[in-house]
Amino acid sequence: MNEGEVLRAHRMSMCMSAGAALVLGAALLVPAPAQALAVAQASVLDVEDGVRTDEQLSGLATAEHVAVDGFRTGSAAASADHDTGRLAAFAEESFVQDGASNGVQGLALIDEILTFFGPEPGIVELSMGVVGFFRNVGGPSALGVGALLDFGSEHSAILATWSDAPGNDVGVVTRGEVTGLTAVPALIVGTLRTRLLLNPLDTVSVHARLGVSANAASNSLATAGFDHTAQLAITLPEGWSFTSSSGSFLTVPPPSPVPLPGGLGFGGAALLWLARFRRPRDAT
């Protein structure tokens, strides 16, 4: 690749990164409902019937979508679980020849309303740990992940984008308190933290979002794998407890994260991912 081609690839990748950031930003700013809700959405854009969505008032929501359209294959999956407080998302796209699209997205949401009980005022912390990776074969593809945590009036967020072009690092924007942040393509990890001083019987809304996008270049395979998990956790003062509008928020210890084998082929990764994180729903 000569110098002119390098500069062209760099400019193209920067535009694709900006596009990924805009798409993720819009997806993460989904209006919050006035009730408990878990939503999983898997989208392969630019194909007919390209969006799969599952919504649950409690328990687990899951969605998956795989589409093949000419030289393009798109694969997306997502899950959101009130019981464990776990969100996960996966997006992968490939072109075996020249091609372009608006990409593939996975989006997971948890909304809750919590009521707290305690003997006196105290500080409650709600956190969300996020871990995953970007991977690209070919180039210059664009990949993105966004995580957002709202706890009443407190907010924390991470937005990371990357294009595999010469000289490009992972770009990261944070809001609020984010600890333990690492942002390289092979490992993107951080913990979003929010704290509130509450009185007994205070009611507080919770909104957690995890979104990923993959937009492959021609002759490329691009993967955003955040199926390792985004995990919610709450820390209460001594003697405190809470109830949730779903009746099940954080009532089940989360399972250990199960990383995907690095050699899985395109498309099958999302299906295996979903099988590993799916568990039977309670009969209602």
Query: Average pLDDT of the chain?
Result: 80
Distance CA 136, CA 222 (A): 4
Task: Detail the DSSP E strand segments found in the chain.
Answer: 37-44, 51-56, 60-69, 72-81, 86-95, 104-117, 122-137, 142-151, 154-163, 171-175, 177-184, 187-198, 203-215, 220-235, 241-244
**Residues 101-126: what's their mean pLDDT?**
93
Which is nearest to 206 in space by CA: 54, 60, 38?
Answer: 38
User: Residues 193, 151, 277, CA angle at the centre, nearest 5°?
Assistant: 75
Residue 101: pLDDT band by 50, 70, 90 thresholds?
confident
Give buried/exposed letters for 128-150 (b at 16+ CB in 10 A, else e).
bbbbbbbbbebbbbbbbbbbbbb
Residue 94 CB burial class (10 angstroms; 0-12, 13-18, ≥19): buried
Distance CA 94, CA 126 (A): 37
Task: Locate 128 and state its tokens.
Answer: 């969300």
The pLDDT assigned to 261 comes to: 33
Helices (H), the chain: 3-28, 268-277
**Residue 41: Cβ within 10 Å count:** 24
> Tokens 């944070």, residue?
174
Distance CA 107, CA 87 (A): 9
Distances (CA, A) of 187 to 79, 131, 164, 175, 276: 21, 7, 15, 20, 21
pLDDT (tens digit per residue) in 179-206:
999 999 888 999 999 999 999 999 999 9
The pLDDT assigned to 114 comes to: 96
The pLDDT assigned to 255 comes to: 65
pLDDT higher for 77 or 16? 77
